């Protein structure tokens, strides 16, 4: 390993959990390289990765509410991570109590959640990832939002500004209906056009980066005959040209949509309604793809996310592989392992019920932990 590689290594040194899922109390010191976590169904493998992901993203990859994360019968949870990057070490902590979430960086409470500098970056590979392909458009928008939020504070801010304006316009539409004054609507429409057009540009630029990465990952797993393509479909109309132009097109579309929106009681166009199209050889994978193609496409998206974050931040995100190795057939698993090995200078967490099925992982370099109903034991 070269010096420069080591200098930008991101590593979770310690994870502390209190009342998180089936972990009432845990202090875990992972290894720098590959961490293998094995245990029976329901022992707490996914929950552990979920906690690490929570530190990076501030929400669960399962998409549930915070109250679901609190150990049954308890009334708060706490997740803390000690993260090292180069010679620096930072602490990030989330606390949830009585419906309120707090984030502390190095012991200091952050006034606005979104302002916290991301200390940890992470990508979660889950057997549930098929939802990226087969699920509702919201799943794919969330994929883009999370990737972008991990690299850009500006994106996080735009996203919250956009949602605030959206809520205001929707309230007017819903509660005032046809009585909603045009001038009042326009105030929020101008804001939606300003923030929304910037969000769209961010997403489209990210997609330019993600496209070749996803296509390459897919080719490596499926062979050269399949061409994976990603397309952004903006609901506000044709997106091209300068930001000012885009803002104008956006605003006009909103005004045109007023009567429909009043009827429906909400805003029907904007980045909250856009779609990320995923195609193989020109056909929507969601509709036409075989099971295997859909799985491979989902995996390709995640791999693309990993390399995108790496390129944007100059360090490898912490890789979370939940039960995915046992799900794939031989050829694909090997390809994934090759990728994993290539990224071995980053920190990785791999779970599975059977350590034998995780063969192929160079165990000599890995730390092995056994998970038993909310506790961890190091085995090797
Ligand atoms: N809020 C909660 N409080 C307490 N226990 C919970 C909570 N939410 C989930 N659980 C339980 O925690 C246990 C661990 O779940 P987890 O999904 O982490 O298991 P796993 O080891 O990944 O299992 P599998 O191999 O089946 O994927 C399960 O028994 C689950 O029912
Ligand atoms: Mg699991």
38 lines ligand 1 (CB under 6 A): no
Kindly report the CA angle at 10 between 8 and 12, in degrees rounded to 5?
155
- Residue 74 Cα to ligand 1 midpoint, Å, equals 15
Domain membership flag for residue 290: no
Q: Mean pLDDT, to the nearest integer, of 41-54?
A: 97
Q: Which H/E stretch holds residue 85?
A: strand 76-85
Mean pLDDT of 212-223: 90
pTM comes to 0.93
In 10 A of CB 250, how many CB atoms? 26
Ligand 2 centroid to 211 CA: how many Å?
Answer: 29
Atom of ligand 1 nearest to the CA of 68: 1
Q: Is 111 in the pocket of ligand 1 (CB under 6 A)?
A: no
Residue 33 has pLDDT above 90, yes or no: no
Separation between Cα atoms, residue 132 and residue 130, nearest integer Å: 5
Query: Residue 248 domain-assigned?
Result: no
Which strand ranges, in their side-by-side order, compose the sheet holding 34-38? Answer: 122-125, 318-322, 348-352, 34-38, 366-372, 375-378
Residue 244 resides in a domain: no
Q: Quick one: DSSP state of residue 237?
A: S
Query: C-alpha angle 353/359/363, rounded to 5°?
Result: 100
Indicate whether 287 belongs to any domain.
Answer: no
Which CATH number does the domain housing residue 342 bear? 3.40.50.300
pLDDT bin (cut points 50, 70, 90) of residue 304 is: very high
Q: How many domains does the chain have?
A: 1
Q: What is the mean pLDDT of residues 332-348?
A: 69
> Measured between alpha carbons, how far is 126 from 355 in angstroms, rounded to an integer?
18
Tell me, yes or no, whether 271 lies in a domain: no
DSSP, collapsed to helix, strand or coil, labels residue 231 as strand
Ligand 1 contact, 60 CB (< 6 A): no
As beta bridge partners, residue 371 has 376
DSSP 8-state assignment for residue 372:
E
Higher pLDDT, 334 or 131: 131
Judge whether 263 lies within some domain.
no
Q: Give the range of the structural domain holding residue 99, as residue numbers without chain letter.
A: 1-121+315-380
Lowest-pLDDT choice from 29-38, 90-99, 350-359: 350-359
pLDDT at 375: 96
Helix (H, G, I), strand (E, B) or coil at 158: helix
Of the ligands numbered here, which is closest to the C-alpha atom of 69?
Answer: 1
Q: With 0-12 CB in 10 A as exposed, 13-18 as middle and 19+ as buried, what is 98?
A: exposed
Among the residue ranges 20-34, 41-55, 231-245, the one predicted with the least confidence is 231-245
Give burial (CB, 10 Å; 0-12/13-18/19+) of 285.
buried
CA separation for the pair 31, 33 (Å, rounded):
6
Ligand 1, atom 7: closest residue by C-alpha: 21
pLDDT at 7 (0 to 100)? 47
Percent of residues, the chain, with pLDDT higher than 90: 70
Ligand nearest, relative to CA of residue 67: 1
352: Cβ below 6 Å to ligand 1? no
DSSP designation for 95? E
- 8 Å CB contact between 39 and 371: yes
Closest to 343 measured CA to CA, from 226, 206, 217:
217
Ligand 1 touching residue 296 (CB < 6 A): no
Show the tokens assigned to 85: 């990057």
Type and span of the H or E element at 37: strand 34-38
Question: For residue 98, is it within any domain?
Answer: yes
The β-bridge partners of 76 are 97
Q: How confident is the model at residue 285 (pLDDT cuts 50, 70, 90)?
A: very high
Burial of 339 (0-12, 13-18, 19+ CB in 10 A): middle
Q: Does residue 267 line the site of ligand 1, with CB under 6 A?
A: no
User: Is the pLDDT confidence value at 363 over 80?
Assistant: no
Rounded to whole angstroms, the maximal C-alpha distance in the chain is 70
Mean per-residue pLDDT for 299-326? 90
**Residue-averaged pLDDT of the chain:** 89
Tokens found for residue 130: 């098929």
CB atoms within 10 A of CB 29: 12
71 lines ligand 1 (CB under 6 A): yes
Length of the chain measured in residues: 380
> Helix or strand or coil: residue 379?
coil
Q: Please indicate, yes or no, if residue 141 is contained in any of the structural domains.
A: no
Distance separating alpha carbons of residues 318 and 53, to the nearest angstrom: 9
Q: What percent of the chain has pLDDT over 70?
A: 89
Whether the predicted pLDDT of 4 surpasses 50? no
Taking only Cα atoms into account, the Rg of the chain, rounded to an integer number of angstroms, comes to 22
The pLDDT tens digits for 112-139 are 766 666 789 999 999 899 999 999 999 9
Phi, psi of 149 (to 5 degrees): -65, -30
């Amino acid at each position: 390993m070269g010096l420069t590689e080591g200098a930008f290594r991101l590593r979770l040194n310690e994870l502390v959990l209190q009342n998180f899922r089936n972990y009432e109390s845990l202090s875990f010191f992972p290894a720098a390289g590959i961490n293998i976590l094995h245990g029976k169904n329901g022992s707490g493998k996914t929950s552990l990765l979920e906690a690490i992901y929570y530190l990076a993203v501030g929400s669960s990859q399962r998409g549930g509410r915070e109250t679901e994360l609190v150990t049954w019968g308890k009334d708060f949870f706490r997740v803390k991570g000690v993260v090292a990057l180069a010679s620096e070490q930072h602490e990030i902590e989330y606390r949830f109590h009585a419906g309120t979430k707090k984030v502390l960086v190095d012991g200091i409470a952050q006034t606005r959640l979104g302002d916290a500098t991301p200390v940890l970056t992470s990508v979660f590979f889950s057997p549930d990832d098929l939802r990226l392909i087969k699920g509702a458009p919201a799943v794919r928008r969330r994929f883009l939002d999370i990737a972008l939020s991990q690299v850009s504070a500006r994106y996080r801010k735009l996203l919250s500004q956009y949602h605030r304006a959206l809520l205001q316009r929707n309230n007017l539409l819903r509660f005032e209906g046809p009585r909603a004054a045009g001038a009042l609507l326009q105030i929020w429409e101008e804001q939606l056009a300003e923030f929304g057009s910037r969000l769209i540009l961010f997403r489209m630029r990210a997609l330019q980066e993600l496209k070749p990465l996803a296509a390459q990952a897919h080719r490596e797993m499926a062979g050269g005959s399949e061409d994976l393509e990603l397309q952004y479909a903006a609901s506000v109309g044709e997106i091209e040209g300068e930001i000012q132009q885009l803002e104008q097109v956006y605003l006009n579309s909103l005004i045109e949509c007023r009567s429909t929106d009043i009827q429906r009681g909400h805003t029907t166009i904007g980045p909250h309604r856009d779609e990320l199209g995923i195609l193989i050889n020109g056909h929507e994978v969601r509709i036409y793809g075989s099971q295997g193609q859909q799985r491979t496409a989902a995996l390709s998206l995640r791999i693309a996310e990993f390399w995108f974050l790496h390129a944007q931040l100059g360090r490898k995100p912490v890789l979370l592989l939940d039960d995915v190795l046992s799900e794939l057939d031989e050829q694909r698993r090997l390809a994934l392992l090759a990728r994993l090995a290539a990224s071995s200078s980053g920190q990785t967490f791999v779970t599975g019920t059977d350590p034998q099925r995780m063969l192929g992982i160079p165990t000599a370099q890995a730390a092995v932990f056994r998970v038993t109903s909310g506790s961890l034991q190091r085995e090797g």
